[in-house]
Structure 1
Amino acid sequence: MFRVFKRIALGLVALILVTAIALAIWEPLVAEEVRAPAQRAYDVEIVRDDFGVPHIFGRTDPDVSYGIAYAHAEDDFSTLQEVAAMTRARMGALSGADGAKIDFAAHLLDIRGTVDRKYAALPADIRALLDAYAAGLNHYADKHPEEVSLSGLFPLNGQDIAAGFALRSPFFFGLDSVLGALAEGKDLPIEGGPKLTGEPENRITPIGPEPDMNGSNAFAIAPGRSTDNVTRLVSNSHQPWRGGVAWYELVVHSEEGWDFAGATFPGSPYPFLGHNKTLGWTNTVNRPDLIDVYKLELNDDKTQYRLDGQWRDLEAKRVWLKVKMGPFTLPYPQTIYRSAHGPVIINAKGAFAIRYAGLDDLKMLEQYFRINKARNFAEWQQAMAIQGVPATNFIYADAAGNIAMAYNALFPARKPGANWRGVLPGNRSDLIWQTHLPWDRVPMLVNPASGYIMNANNTPYVAAGPGDELDPASFSPLMGIEDDMTNRARQAIKLFEAAGQIDAATLERIKYDVGYDKSDYATQWMAALLAVKPDGDNRIALAQALLRAWDWQLDGKGKGDALALMVMRPAMRQSYRRLPLPDAREVLTETIDHLDTHFASLDPKLGTVLRLRQGEVDLPMDGGSDTLRAATLWDIDETDGRLAVRHGDSFIQFVEWDAEGNVTSRSIQPFGAATTRPDSPHYTDQAKLFVDHKTKPVYFTREQLMPHAKRRYRP
C-alpha cells in the first residue's frame, strides 16, 4: 500500500512539475507566428549630438524610418517592447493583470481585424515606412537578444506597427474611460459642449484612468505681433514622463525631402509634432463628443439583438487573455461581442454597443507623414484633409507668417432629433452613423487680427482674444464641441492681451507662468477652503491664514505655495472632469496632515516638496496643476513625503522663422534622451536645464550639427 501511495505522490509531483513548466512556457508557443518584412539593405547614418539626441540621415524615407526605430531602441527598448506586446495582445504576458486589460481592449476593438481589412489599402510609401520601422526594431532585437523580455515577440512587421496606432489613437479622446465605465457598470463619462435640450442630468459622471492627464499648451505668434517680425511657435505638450506615450526627441533628414525636428511616441515611424524648414505644428488634446453608446435589446439567451424590428445575431468570439503571475502565464477566457454598431459590453445593467470616431480606420498613418513633408500652408491643409487623425487640436505656424488653429476631429455625421449626449436606443439603424463631417466643416481659425493663437485644452471659441474668436453659432451642437475653460487658457489670454508686442523673452515668461486666474473654479474653491470651520483644529486656522495671504503664484517664492499646490489639484481634477468641487474640509485636512507629518510645517518651500526625480537626480520644481508651467501629476514618496512629478510639461520646443524665412528652434525634456538607461550619460542630462526654465539648441542642419556630433554610426 505504501508503494501505491508513493507512486501516486510521485505522479502528482510529476504532474505539478509538468503543469508548472507548461504554464511557464506555453504562451510564446501559441502566439501567432509573424512574417518579418522582406529583407532589404537600409542606407542610414545616426549622429548623436552632445545631448544624445539622434539625428537620422537616410537616402530614402524608409531608410530614415529604419534609423528612427534603431535609435529609439538604443535609448528605450523596454518601452518599445511594451508597445509591441500591446499590438499582439500579449501585454498581459509581459506585465500581468493590468496588461491583460489592454489586451482585452485590443480584442474588443478588433484591432487586428482593422489591420487585416485596411492595411493593404494604405499607400505603398506608407507601408514601406512601417516595414522599415519594424525592421529597425527587429535588427536591434537580433543584436541584443539579452534585452528581449518576451519570447516570440520579434520579428515585427508593418502590420504590427499599424495595429499600435489603431489601438492607442481612440484613447486620446476618452474611449478608455467609456470602456472602463461600461466594464464596471458605472455611469458614463460625457464629453463635448453644453448640455443639449432634454439631456439627462445623471450622465455627467466621468471616470477612468485620470482623464485630467490629458493636457497641453500651444502658442503661435504672427510676425505682425512680434517686436522683430519673427513668426513663433511654442510646443508645450503635457504627457507622462515615462512609458508608451512619453515623448522622444529626434531630427530626421532624407534625400527624398523629409527634414523634420520634433518628437514622437514609442512605436511611431515619424515625428508627431515639431517643424520642418518651412512650417511646424503642435498639438493639444481636445474633447469633442466623438463616442456614442447604444443600449441593445437582447433576446432571453442573449444571442440576438433587435434592430429595425428584426432579431440579429450578436457576434460572439472567445479569446484567451494571457496573464502573467510570477513565473507562470495563466490563460483567462473572455467573450468578445459585436453588433452592427460596433463593440459590445454586457454588464449588470444590460448590453451596450459603442461607436467612435476613427472606428476601423488606418488613415492617420498617412496623414501624419504627409503633414511632415508639407512645404506650405496649402499642402499642410491638403494633408490634414485626409482626415485620419480622429481628434486633437493642431496649432500651426510657418515661414510665410501664417498662424492657425484647427479644432481637428472626425465629427460623426449625426442626424438631428436624437439625444446624442445620452445612451441611444440600439434598435434603430438610422442612428448608426456611417460617415464623418468633411474637412471644410472642421472649426479652424486662421491669421486672427490679434496676431496670436493659443490653446490650453479649452474650448476653441477662446483662442485669440476678444473680437478675434470663432463664432459658436457657426457650428452644429451635434458636433459636441466643448465649452470648457482651463486656468491655463484664462491666464494665457490675460497675459497675451496685456503683453503688447511680443519678443522671445515675453513669450517665455508667458509659457512658464505659474499663476492662477482669480475666476471660475479656482475662486470658488478658494472660497470653500476659507469657509471651513476650524472646529478646534488650530492647524486649519493657520492653513487658512496662509491661503488668504497666498499670492496665487506657484513660483516657490511666496508663503503658502506648497499648501496651495496640494489643495488646488483636487479642484482642478474635478473641474476638468466636469464634476462638483470636492469636499473642502477633507482636502484641507488631508493636506495639513501630510505637510505636518513629513515637513513639520504647513509652509515648507515649494521646491522642497515638489521634485523632479530620476535615478540619483533630485531637483526642486515649480508650477502645479493647471498652471502654464505644468506639474500635473506626481507620485508621493511615503518615506519623505515629497512629490515626484511624473506628468506635466514634457517635451518643450520654441520655434522661430525670421523675416527671411530661416528656421531655428530650441527644446528641452524633463530627463534626457535615454530615459530608461541609467548607465547612459543622457539619462538625466537635461534635468537641470528643465527645472531652470532653460532650453538647448536644436541642430537642424548637418552644418549646425557636426561641430556638436559626439557619435556617428551605421546600425
Structure 2
Amino acid sequence: MRVRGRVLTLGLLAGLACAVPVTGSASAAAPPKVRSLPGADNAKVAIRRTAHGIPHIVGSNFRNLAYGYGYAFAQDNICTIASSYVTVRAERSRFFGPDNTWKFEGNGSTVNNLNSDFFFKRIIDTGVVEKLLSQKPPSGPRAEIRSGVSGYVAGYNRYLRDTGVAKLPDPTCRGKEWVRPIREIDAYRYFYKLALLASSGVAIDGIASAQPPTPPVPVPVGAPISTEKQMELIEGNLDRFRLGDAGSNAYGLGSQATADGHGMVLGNPHFPWQGSQRFYQSHLTVPGKVDVAGGSLFGVPIVLIGHTQRMAWSHTVSTARRFTPFELKLVPGSPTTYVYDGQPRQMTADNVTVQVPGAGGKLENRSRTLYSTVHGPVFTSILGLPLFPWSSGQAHAMGDINAGNFRYLNHFFETNVAQTVREYDQVQRRNQGIPWVNSIAADSKGEAYYADIGAVPNVSNAKAQA
C-alpha cells in the first residue's frame, strides 16, 4: 500500500481488532502492475494475496477493482453469500423448507423461512429497491457505486463460471441448485437487507405474519397489551434490542493522547464471527484515486472499517433506535381501516405469492396478504417478542428510517477516499446515511473525531410520550 508513514494492524480475526497509527513519512513500494485476468471480461485487475490469504486488489478503475473483489470474495466465501442471495430472492422455502429458519446474525434474530420469503417477496413485488436506484445522488447511488456493483457481480459470476458449481471447494454448497450467477439487483437487495438490520430486520417474522383478527367484529380478539406492559417487556429485553450480541469498542486518539502527536484508532467491533455479517478483510487500490484497507461486511465491495493513507476510522453500535412503533386506532368492525388525522384510511394490502415444496417435492404456490400504512408495515412482534398484537380495535405499524436509505452506500464510498477527519465530517453531514452505528476516527494531523450522525427517527420526547 502506498502510505505516508507506518501502518500497524494487530490481530485481525473475524472481528477485526486493529490499532492504526496514522502518520506521515516516505511512501512504501508501488502496487503491483495492473493486468488482465485471463479469459473473458478483459477486466484489468491484479489480485495478490499475503499472509492468511488477505487479498490486495488493484484495479484500473472502480469497476475493475470491484471485479477483482467479487472474484476474490467468491473464492473465499461463495457458500455463505450464495445463501444470503437466496434470502433476498425470497427463495428460502423453495430450497431449505418453509418450516426451517435462518439466523440474522447481526441483530440476533432467528427468522422463519416462509415469513422471510413473504417479507422479501413484497420488497421485490413493490419495486422498493428499484425506486431507490432511480434516485439521483445523494439519495441514490453515485456513479462509482453503480460501476462497482457491475464489476462485483461480473467478478463473482466469473469465479462461479471458472470453477463450476459441481467443483466448488466448499462441500456446503458444492453442486447445489441454489448456487447460481447473481444479477446487480440481487446485490442491491442484499445491501437493502443490511440497511434494515436494526429496524425492519428485527421484525421480519412480526411483519410477514401480521394478520387481521377474524371475524372482523368490534369485539376484542385478545386484549391489547397496555403501554406500561409493553415498556416493561422492552426494558426487560434491552440487550436484545441492542442488535443481539453486537456492541463494539473503538478509540480515536488525537495528538494530546499519542507519543508522536499523530492520530491513532483502535477498532474492536463485536460483530459475529460466523455467517454473513462477519467481516472480510481486503486492501483496495485504484492508482491515484483510492488506496484503502480494512474490513467489509460480506458482499459489500467497499471498506466499512479501516484506513486510507492519512485517516483511520471505526464504528460502534449506536444506541439510537432506527424504528418507531405507531399505535393505530382501528375503525370498529373493520380491522384493516385505521384512523389517520381524524379520518378513516384503508390499509394497503399486498397479495404476495412464494413457492414452497409440495407433495413429492413439486413446487406449489403459497400466498399471503401483508398490510401496511402511511407509517410503514403492520407488525405484531420484534425479535420474537409478541409486544404488538393486532386486535379489533388496535394495531401497530413500524416506521423504518432506513426503509429509504441508500445514502449509506455513498457515505462509505466517500469515506474510502477521505484523508482527514474534517473531510470525514463533511462526508457524514453531506450524506447523513449511516444506518445504525457511531463513528470514531483520527488522522495524521492528530485530530480525533466522534459522531452519531446518520438515519435516526425524528421523535421528540413529547411525541414519544403523547
Give the alignment's TM-score, normalised by structure 2. Answer: 0.72
Once the two structures are superposed, residues 482-512 of structure 1 have per-residue CA deviations (whole angstroms, 9 ceiling, x without a partner) of xxxxxxxxxxxxxxxxxxxxxxxxxxxxxxx
Q: Secondary structure at the match of 1:378?
A: helix
Quick one: structure 1 residues 288 and 168, their matched pair in 2 at CA, closer, same or farther if it must change by over 3 Å? same
What is the Cα deviation at residue 239 of structure 1? 1.7
Pairing partner for 1:293 from 325, 328, 331: 325
- Tell me, in whole angstroms, the C-alpha distance in 1 between the residues paired with 2:200 and 2:178: 30
Q: Secondary structure at the match of 1:271?
A: coil
Quick one: structure 1 residues 322 and 244, their matched pair in 2 at CA, closer, same or farther if it must change by over 3 Å? farther
Once the two structures are superposed, residues 155-205 of structure 1 have per-residue CA deviations (whole angstroms, 9 ceiling, x without a partner) of 42322212112122222x3544445567789xxxxxxxxxxxxx8464132
Pairing partner for 1:216 from 248, 252, 259: 248
What is the Cα deviation at residue 127 of structure 1? 0.9
- Quick check: 2:351–2:369 contact (8 Å CA) kept in 1? yes
- Quick check: 2:121–2:354 contact (8 Å CA) kept in 1? no
Q: Secondary structure at the match of 1:345?
A: coil
Partner of 2:377: 343
What is the Cα deviation at residue 104 of structure 1? 3.3
Q: Secondary structure at the match of 2:330?
A: coil
Once the two structures are superposed, residues 363-420 of structure 1 have per-residue CA deviations (whole angstroms, 9 ceiling, x without a partner) of 1111111111112223212211201222201110111111111123322233663235
Partner of 1:369: 413
- Quick check: 1:92–1:101 contact (8 Å CA) kept in 2? no
Q: Secondary structure at the match of 2:402?
A: coil
Question: Is 1:145 aligned to 2:173, yes or no?
Answer: no
Partner of 1:310: 343
In terms of Rg, which structure is larger? 1
- Quick check: 1:357–1:410 contact (8 Å CA) kept in 2? yes
What is the Cα deviation at residue 153 of structure 1? 6.1
Residues 13-32 of structure 1 correspond to what in structure 2 (within 5 A)?
none
Quick one: structure 1 residues 126 and 84, their matched pair in 2 at CA, closer, same or farther if it must change by over 3 Å? same
Once the two structures are superposed, residues 504-528 of structure 1 have per-residue CA deviations (whole angstroms, 9 ceiling, x without a partner) of xxxxxxxxxxxxxxxxxxxxxxxxx
Q: Percent identity?
A: 25
Partner of 1:603: none
Question: Is 1:170 aligned to 2:170, yes or no?
Answer: no
Q: Secondary structure at the match of 2:265?
A: strand
- Tell me, in whole angstroms, the C-alpha distance in 2 between the residues paired with 1:110 and 1:338: 15
Residues 420-499 of structure 1 correspond to what in structure 2 (within 5 A)?
none
- Quick check: 1:68–1:270 contact (8 Å CA) kept in 2? no
- Tell me, in whole angstroms, the C-alpha distance in 2 between the residues paired with 1:368 and 1:104: 30
- Tell me, in whole angstroms, the C-alpha distance in 1 between the residues paired with 2:228 and 2:370: 30
Partner of 2:105: none
- Tell me, in whole angstroms, the C-alpha distance in 2 between the residues paired with 1:133 and 1:257: 18
Partner of 1:404: 449
Partner of 2:20: none
Partner of 1:124: 143
- Tell me, in whole angstroms, the C-alpha distance in 1 between the residues paired with 2:462 and 2:158: 55
Question: Is 1:160 aligned to 2:186, yes or no?
Answer: yes
Residues 412-423 of structure 1 correspond to what in structure 2 (within 5 A)?
412-414=457-459, 417-419=462-464
Pairing partner for 1:334 from 355, 360, 368: 368
**What amino acid does structure 1 have at the position aligned with 2:439?**
F
What is the Cα deviation at residue 41 of structure 1? 3.2
Once the two structures are superposed, residues 462-482 of structure 1 have per-residue CA deviations (whole angstroms, 9 ceiling, x without a partner) of xxxxxxxxxxxxxxxxxxxxx
**What amino acid does structure 2 have at the position aligned with 1:365?**
L
- Quick check: 1:303–1:313 contact (8 Å CA) kept in 2? yes
Q: Secondary structure at the match of 2:312?
A: strand
- Tell me, in whole angstroms, the C-alpha distance in 2 between the residues paired with 1:210 and 1:380: 26
- Quick check: 2:116–2:205 contact (8 Å CA) kept in 1? no
- Quick check: 2:116–2:208 contact (8 Å CA) kept in 1? no
Indicate the larger mover: 201-210 or 126-135. Answer: 201-210
Q: Secondary structure at the match of 1:312?
A: strand
Once the two structures are superposed, residues 54-95 of structure 1 have per-residue CA deviations (whole angstroms, 9 ceiling, x without a partner) of 110111111111111110110110011022222212233343
**What amino acid does structure 2 have at the position aligned with 1:69?**
G
Indicate the larger mover: 251-260 or 88-97. Answer: 88-97
Once the two structures are superposed, residues 653-674 of structure 1 have per-residue CA deviations (whole angstroms, 9 ceiling, x without a partner) of xxxxxxxxxxxxxxxxxxxxxx
- Tell me, in whole angstroms, the C-alpha distance in 1 between the residues paired with 2:42 and 2:305: 28
- Gaps of at least 5 residues in structure 2 are 1-39, 102-112, 136-140, 211-226, 381-388
- Tell me, in whole angstroms, the C-alpha distance in 2 between the residues paired with 1:256 and 1:126: 18
What is the Cα deviation at residue 218 of structure 1? 0.7
Partner of 1:204: 232
What is the Cα deviation at residue 329 of structure 1? 5.4
**What amino acid does structure 2 have at the position aligned with 1:106?**
F
Give the alignment's TM-score, normalised by structure 1. Answer: 0.48
Q: Secondary structure at the match of 1:141?
A: helix
- Quick check: 2:115–2:209 contact (8 Å CA) kept in 1? no
**What amino acid does structure 1 have at the position aligned with 2:432?**
Q
Partner of 2:433: 388
State the Cα RMSD in Å: 3.0
**What amino acid does structure 2 have at the position aligned with 1:67?**
G
What is the Cα deviation at residue 352 of structure 1? 1.6
Question: Is 1:238 aligned to 2:270, yes or no?
Answer: yes
- Quick check: 1:218–1:282 contact (8 Å CA) kept in 2? yes
Residues 625-644 of structure 1 correspond to what in structure 2 (within 5 A)?
none
- Gaps of at least 5 residues in structure 1 are 1-38, 186-198, 425-715
Question: Is 1:262 aligned to 2:274, yes or no?
Answer: no
**What amino acid does structure 1 have at the position aligned with 2:349?**
A
- Quick check: 2:149–2:187 contact (8 Å CA) kept in 1? yes
What is the Cα deviation at residue 309 of structure 1? 2.7
- Tell me, in whole angstroms, the C-alpha distance in 2 between the residues paired with 1:286 and 1:210: 8
- Tell me, in whole angstroms, the C-alpha distance in 1 between the residues paired with 2:176 and 2:147: 26
Q: Number of paired residues?
A: 370
Pairing partner for 1:248 from 257, 280, 283: 280
- Tell me, in whole angstroms, the C-alpha distance in 1 between the residues paired with 2:241 and 2:118: 16
What is the Cα deviation at residue 100 of structure 1? 3.3
- Tell me, in whole angstroms, the C-alpha distance in 1 between the residues paired with 2:86 and 2:230: 38
- Tell me, in whole angstroms, the C-alpha distance in 2 between the residues paired with 1:283 and 1:297: 39
**What amino acid does structure 2 have at the position aligned with 1:156?**
I
- Quick check: 1:95–1:324 contact (8 Å CA) kept in 2? no
Which structure is higher in RCO with an 8 Å CA cutoff and minimum separation 6? 2
- Tell me, in whole angstroms, the C-alpha distance in 2 between the residues paired with 1:225 and 1:168: 35
Once the two structures are superposed, residues 580-618 of structure 1 have per-residue CA deviations (whole angstroms, 9 ceiling, x without a partner) of xxxxxxxxxxxxxxxxxxxxxxxxxxxxxxxxxxxxxxx
Question: Is 1:279 aligned to 2:311, yes or no?
Answer: yes
Question: Is 1:104 aligned to 2:118, yes or no?
Answer: yes
- Tell me, in whole angstroms, the C-alpha distance in 1 between the residues paired with 2:121 and 2:399: 15
Once the two structures are superposed, residues 237-271 of structure 1 have per-residue CA deviations (whole angstroms, 9 ceiling, x without a partner) of 11211111011111111125111110111110111
